[in-house]
Structure 1
Amino acid sequence: MNSPYPVIASIVEGHGEVRALQGLLSRLVPHLVPGMYADIQRPHRVPRDRMLKKEHLEHALTIVMARAPRPTGVLALLDSDDDCPVELARTLQEHAQATHHNVPLVAVAAVREFEAWFLAGAAGLAGRAGLPHDLKPPPRPESIRGAKEWLSRQMPPGATYQETAHQPSFAAQFDLDAARAAAPSFDKFCRDVTFLVTGERERHD
């Protein structure tokens, strides 16, 4: 069964991203390519240590490519933590190429963690979930260790950031343009999503 529009499957490492990424991609596609629609499938979760192993990534790709409608592209997303995001993305790309060379796949490693993108686009979260109405992003958000803890510190006493509770709603609200300007890994994510839905690479200066 072929689809008349792009169909994006994704492979993620965390429970929060299973819900958050689907909503983020549905929001991001028409933001990046006005008028564009894509079928965003539910992410398939693979723990980080397994995702980085060729045989487990191969198994995950086999599962998502068996879906109907068949995906036209796959996005693999994980946190870089203390590792090099470029090397992590390259490893995933090489593993995928070795076993599923005919599958358009992009790999993105969020610098530090997914929540660093929320810090970069924090202005869009102002007044949400108890966050201050004048919330401002920190300088160099991707350099911060503990983005989740930074978000918790902005919340009222006794409240903390909870990944599975807050990640989907924050993904629907953070400032996309500000995040793209302040977080290079989110900019790469946006460029890769554009490629999945258009087949064309944006120029990257």
Structure 2
Amino acid sequence: MTSPYPVIAPVVEGHGEEKALQGLLHRLVPHLREGAYAHIHSAHRLPRDQMLKPEPLAKSLTIVTARQPRPTAVLVLLDADDDCAVNLATQVRDLARKSHAHVPLTAVVAVREFEAWFLAGARGLAGHMGLPHDLTPPPNPESIRGAKEWLSRRMPTSSTYQPSAHQPSFVQHFDLDAARHTAPSFDKLCREVLRFLD
């Protein structure tokens, strides 16, 4: 089955991104290119330690590329934590080429963690799910180790940030333009999505 539209198959490491990335991409595609549409498959989760091994990665790529409509691109998303984002992305792409060289694939690595993008676009989250109405982003959001904790400290005392509960909602509200401007790894995601649309 061939789709007349781009078809993106995401592979993620975390439970939160498993729920959230599809929604983020549905929002991001028309934001980046007015009137654009892409079919976004639900994300396939592969824990980070497995993502960096040839056999589990190859098995996951076989699964996602067999979905219908057939993907025109695969997007692998993971967190850098304390590692170099560029090196991690290269490692994933090199592993993928060994088994699926025919598959258009990119790896995007969020510097520190996925939540750094929420910090970069924090003004869009102001007043949302108990966050303060005057919420402002920190300087250099991708330099913060502990973005989840940063969000938790700004929530009501009875609440803490939970990725699987908050990410699907936060991806619909954070400021995409601000995040792209101040979080280079989010800009990388945007550039790769635009490339898929082409």
Structures share a fold, TM > 0.5? yes
1:98 and 2:98 matched: yes
Deviations 1:133-182 (A, max 9, x none): 01000000000010000000011112111111101000111000000000
TM-score (norm 2): 0.99
In structure 2, what is the Cα distance between the partners aligned to 1:153 and 1:194? 35
Gaps of 5+ in 1: 199-205
Alignment-derived partner of residue 24 in structure 1? 24
Deviation at 1:16, TM superposition (A): 0.6
Deviations 1:92-137 (A, max 9, x none): 1111111111110010110010000000000000000110101000
How do residues 101-120 of structure 1 correspond to structure 2 at under 5 angstroms? 101-120=101-120
Moved over 3 A (4+): none
In 2, the alpha carbon distance for the partners of 1:43 and 1:197 equals 18
Matched ranges for 1:187-198 at <5 A: 187-198=187-198
Counterpart of 1:89 in structure 2 is 89
Q: Which residue of 2 aligns with 1:68?
A: 68
Q: Which residue of 2 aligns with 1:134?
A: 134
- Residue 80 of structure 1 aligns with an amino acid whose one-letter code is A
> Secondary structure at 1:149's aligned position in 2?
helix
Q: How many residue pairs align between the two structures?
A: 198
Partner of 1:201 in structure 2? Answer: none
Gaps of 5+ in 2: none
CA drift at 1:187: 0.5
- Confirm or deny that 1:167 pairs with 2:167: yes
Instruction: Write the distance in 2 (CA, Å) between the matches of 1:54 and 1:87.
Output: 16
Q: State how far apart, in whole Å, the 2-side matches of 1:92 and 1:196 are.
A: 18
- Match for residue 58 of structure 1? 58
TM-score by length of 1: 0.95
Could you say which residue in structure 2 is the equivalent of 1:4? 4
Letter in structure 1 aligned against 2:108: V
Say what the alpha-carbon RMSD is for the aligned residues.
Answer: 0.6
Aligned-pair identity (%): 68
1:29-44 matches, within 5 Å, as: 29-44=29-44
Distance in 1 of aligned mates of 2:116 and 2:60:
26
Partner of 1:181 in structure 2?
Answer: 181
Describe the SS at the equivalent of 1:102. coil
2:31 aligns to what SS in structure 1? helix
Q: Give the AA of the match of 1:98.
A: K
State the one-letter code of the partner of 1:63.
I
Q: Secondary structure at the match of 1:8?
A: strand
